[in-house]
Structure 1
Amino acid sequence: MKYFTIAEFVRSETADRSGIDNKLPKELLPNVQALITNVLDPLREAYGKPVTVTSGYRCKALNKAVGGSSTSQHMVGQAADVTAGSRKENKRLFYLIQELGLDFDQEIWEKGNSEGPDWVHVSYQEGNNRKQVLLL
């Protein structure tokens, strides 16, 4: 884990405002480490500039508070929403993940417009990645 920390993955303004304890359970740490090692660190290395995790691990209460899917990979530490600070740069991240041939489960162009997504959702699960690309 070269560029990202566990603290980034549990930080949430919604959790802070709502008094939700979003502590990562120890048994989910390997999932977060695998996502960082296999997708996020190589992405950041190739991109050459900071990439910010806007949403990483979400406990069940936080996931519900933000309107996440009941089957969200965020709840098991296998997903992160990332941004490079603008739709244009997020578009670069979105396509760079594919160009690098990173082993991801899902990559989602979240909201935004043709200029780029508001953020990029990317997930990873050990040994079972679908390479599913979605535009929402």
Structure 2
Amino acid sequence: MKYFTMKELAKSSTADKLGIDNTPTSEASVALSNLVTHVLDPLREMYGKAITVNSGYRCPKLNASVGGAKNSQHMRGEAADITAGSREENKKLFELIRDNLPFDQLIEYNYKWIHVSYSSMHDNRSEILHLNH
């Protein structure tokens, strides 16, 4: 984990506000490390500039509090929502991931942010979704 820390992958202002302990389980920590090793660190290398993690690991209570999907990969430590600060830059991140890196799901929300997941538990689907959210 060269560019990202476990702390930033588990940080949540919602968890802080609601007093939720969002400490990753040991399984989620391994999954987060794999996400960083296979996707986020290589992406940061290619992009050459800082990338912000808006949401990484979410414990089940936090995931419910933010309205996350009931089977969200965030709860397993397999997903992160990231941004480079603008829609134009987020589109670049999306294209770098799509064209160069392994992923399970890659979702863009009108390029407001990018959701990327990676699984070591099964074959990655390389599923791409475009959502107007």
Q: Where on the TM-score scale, by shorter chain, does this alignment land: which range?
A: over 0.9
* Separation in structure 1 between the aligned mates of residue 18 and residue 29 of structure 2, nearest angstrom: 24
1:51 corresponds to 2:46: no
Q: CA deviation at 1:98?
A: 1.4
SS of 1:135's equivalent?
strand
Q: CA deviation at 1:12?
A: 0.3
Could you tell me whether the CA contact under 8 Å between 2:28 and 2:57 is conserved in 1?
A: no
* Separation in structure 2 between the aligned mates of residue 68 and residue 27 of structure 1, nearest angstrom: 20
Q: Deviations over 1:79-104 (max 9, x none)?
A: 0000001111001101111121x110
Identity %: 56
The 10-residue stretch of structure 1 (91-100 or 55-64) with the greater mean CA deviation from structure 2: 91-100
* Separation in structure 2 between the aligned mates of residue 12 and residue 98 of structure 1, nearest angstrom: 27
Superposition misfits of 4+ residues, deviation over 2 angstroms? none
Q: CA deviation at 1:17?
A: 0.6
Alignment of 1:26-105 (within 5 A): 26-100=26-100, 102-105=101-104
* Separation in structure 1 between the aligned mates of residue 98 and residue 56 of structure 2, nearest angstrom: 20
* Separation in structure 2 between the aligned mates of residue 10 and residue 30 of structure 1, nearest angstrom: 13
Runs (5+) with no aligned partner, structure 2: none
Runs (5+) with no aligned partner, structure 1: none
RMSD, matched Cα: 0.8
Q: Deviations over 1:58-113 (max 9, x none)?
A: 0001001111000000000000000001111001101111121x110000002x3x
1:128 corresponds to 2:127: no
Could you tell me whether the CA contact under 8 Å between 2:28 and 2:75 is conserved in 1?
A: no
TM-score normalised per structure 2 = 0.95
* Separation in structure 1 between the aligned mates of residue 81 and residue 98 of structure 2, nearest angstrom: 16
